């Protein structure tokens, strides 16, 4: 299972929110590049970057930060947050993203999202299936749709999606553990999906459990920044693999 730390960006700074609420913003570092370098120093190879300003604005905003992280580390970066147009995608890839995540666009403009899957392939495009009460949430989690998470994933699998990031918003930033039951059901009903668990990770012990379920990756945010999981523990986990 891949270990994927998260860097969420507001105004160029590394922050975390609770349950996606912008009013709960906590700045952890003024310089996301330094944070990314620390991750790389611990043997981590992957990074999840979210442009929270972009998610609100519905277009890419913090691509310069992405550019700097890509230039100064060798981390493989998946980037999301407000990507809505072909131009946004072009900027993200040119700024150094290895993969991009589309969430709201997959709900609001499936034609465009499906064209991205066709053009770039299933290795480059990740489906963001973030949910609240198992209903897909969009627009930086400010809006709830009426789409059920499992059928939503299955529908996009039939259109060529392999990678899916699923965040249970009720768990996000709470440090109370991830949605094991939800992930187990997704993996049982969506065969061969490469599921990346996100939200609620609070202790190192949860990681082997997610791996056992069959998760392809896990995104860890606040647990690292609040020292609930150390980079040393993650480094040893990666080496043991």
Burial bucket for residue 90 (CB in 10 Å: 0-12, 13-18, 19+): exposed
pLDDT tens sequence across 29-70? 999 999 999 999 999 999 999 999 999 999 999 999 999 999
Q: How many other β-carbons are positioned within 10 Å of the β-carbon of residue 180?
A: 16
Q: Facing residues of 49 across strands?
A: 7, 79
Q: Which two tokens stand for residue 191?
A: 């065969």
pLDDT score, position 87: 98
Does the pLDDT value for residue 26 go beyond 90?
Answer: yes
Portion of the chain with pLDDT greater than 70, in percent: 99
Domain housing 222: 2-240
Mean of all residue pLDDT scores within the chain: 96
The CATH number given to whatever domain includes residue 116 is: 3.20.20.70
Residue 239: pLDDT band (50, 70, 90) is very high
pLDDT score, position 143: 77
pLDDT tens sequence across 75-118? 999 999 999 999 999 999 999 999 999 999 999 999 999 999 99
C-alpha–C-alpha distance, residues 57 and 157, integer Å: 28
Length of the chain: 241
> Which residues fall within 8 angstroms of residue 23, CB to CB, at 6 or more apart?
none
> Which residues fall within 8 angstroms of residue 108, CB to CB, at 6 or more apart?
138
Domain count, the chain: 1
Looking from the CA of 22 toward its CB, the CA atoms found within 13 Å total 13
Find tokens 């998610």 and name the residue: 55
Dihedral pair phi/psi, residue 36, rounded to 5°? -60, -40
C-alpha–C-alpha distance, residues 99 and 116, integer Å: 11
Does the pLDDT value for residue 182 go beyond 90?
Answer: yes
pLDDT tens sequence across 200-224? 999 999 999 999 999 999 999 999 9
pTM: 0.96
Catalytic residue set: 8, 130
pLDDT score, position 133: 92
Q: DSSP string of 41-59?
A: HTT--EEEEEEHHHHHHTS
For residue 140, what is the DSSP state?
Answer: T
């Amino acid at each position: 299972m891949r270990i994927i730390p998260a860097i969420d960006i507001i105004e160029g700074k590394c922050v975390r929110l609770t349950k996606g609420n912008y009013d709960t913003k906590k700045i952890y570092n003024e310089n996301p590049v330094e944070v990314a370098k620390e991750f790389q120093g611990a043997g981590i190879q992957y990074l999840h970057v979210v442009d929270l300003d972009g998610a609100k604005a519905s277009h890419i905003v913090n691509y310069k930060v992405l550019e700097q992280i890509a230039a100064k580390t060798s981390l493989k970066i998946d980037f999301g947050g407000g990507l809505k147009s072909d131009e946004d995608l072009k900027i993200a890839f040119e700024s150094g993203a290895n993969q991009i995540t589309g969430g709201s666009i997959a709900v609001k403009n499936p034609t465009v999202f499906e064209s991205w899957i066709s053009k770039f392939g299933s290795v480059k495009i990740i489906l963001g299936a973030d949910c609240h009460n198992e209903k897909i949430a969009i627009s930086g989690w400010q809006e709830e749709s009426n789409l059920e998470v499992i059928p939503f994933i299955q529908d996009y699998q039939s259109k060529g999606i392999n990678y899916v990031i699923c965040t249970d918003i009720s768990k996000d930033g709470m440090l109370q553990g991830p949605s094991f039951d939800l992930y187990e059901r997704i993996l049982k009903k969506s065969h061969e999906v490469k599921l990346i668990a996100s939200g609620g990770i609070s202790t190192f012990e949860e990681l082997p459990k997610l791996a056992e379920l069959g998760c392809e990756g896990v995104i860890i945010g606040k647990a690292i920044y609040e020292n609930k999981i150390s980079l040393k523990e993650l480094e040893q986990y990666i080496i043991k693999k």
